[in-house]
């Protein structure tokens, strides 16, 4: 009886092992550069308390939407232009400059070099494919006795125009 059970289990395992799912080709990875090159308009802005255990957040979109038009940014191959006229909060320095990814194949940050202002970096909050929204984070750090710590961040979400 034991041999019949063992043989039955072995046959079932052989049948399941021989059934393979057909693997489908997913194609080439989407170009991060093509995903970034677009005209974007701000749709969401959140301030996050990074020191809070629950990462409390507050909607601060009204501080970015104080002018007649919503903040927008246009990325080309290596330059950007941003329209932030009349904003109470402006993280982009001047209205034009150059940009680059920290790693072209697997970007996690966008480096900005505004014309006439200090360079800065914003973190990418997700993938940047042609079908994705653009999520950027500005981290606010404080230096206390030589130890730098993250205290707050601003998370901004843009959609394609």
Position 68 scores a pLDDT of: 65
Asked whether residue 161 carries a pLDDT value surpassing 90, the answer given is no
What is d(CA 48, CA 153) in angstroms, rounded to the nearest whole number?
Answer: 5
CA angle 77, 79, 81 (to 5 degrees): 125
Q: Is the pLDDT of residue 2 over 70?
A: no
Contact present, 94 and 116 (Cβ < 8 Å): yes
Mean pLDDT of 64-80: 82
Lowest-pLDDT range of 11-20, 22-31, 111-120, 137-146: 11-20
**List of domains in the chain:** 30-160 (2.40.128.540)
- pTM for the full predicted model: 0.76
Token pair of 87 as six digits: 């904003």
List, in order, residues 6 or more apart from 27 with CB less than 8 Å away: none
Using the predicted structure, report yes or no on whether residue 131 has a pLDDT greater than 80. Answer: yes
CA distance 103 to 36: 13
Structure tokens at 82: 């941003």
Residue 126, number of CB atoms within 10 A of its CB: 11
Distance of CA 11 to the CA centre of its chain: 49
* pLDDT higher than threshold 90 for residue 48: yes
Question: 54-66, pLDDT tens digit by residue?
Answer: 999 999 888 777 6
């Amino acid at each position: 009886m034991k041999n019949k059970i063992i043989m039955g289990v072995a046959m079932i395992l052989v049948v399941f092992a021989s059934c393979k799912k057909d693997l489908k080709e997913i194609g080439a990875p989407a170009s991060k550069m093509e995903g970034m090159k677009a005209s974007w308009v701000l749709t969401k802005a959140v301030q996050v308390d990074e020191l809070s255990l629950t990462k409390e957040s507050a909607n601060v979109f009204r501080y970015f939407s104080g002018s007649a038009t919503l903040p927008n940014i246009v990325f080309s191959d290596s330059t950007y232009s941003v329209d932030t006229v009349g904003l109470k909060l402006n993280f982009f320095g001047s209205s034009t400059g150059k940009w680059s990814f920290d790693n072209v194949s697997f970007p996690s940050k966008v480096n900005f070099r505004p014309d006439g202002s200090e360079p800065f970096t914003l973190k990418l909050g997700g993938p940047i494919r042609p079908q994705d929204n653009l999520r950027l984070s500005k981290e606010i750090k404080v230096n206390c006795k030589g130890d730098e710590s993250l205290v707050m961040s601003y998370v901004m979400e843009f959609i394609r125009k």
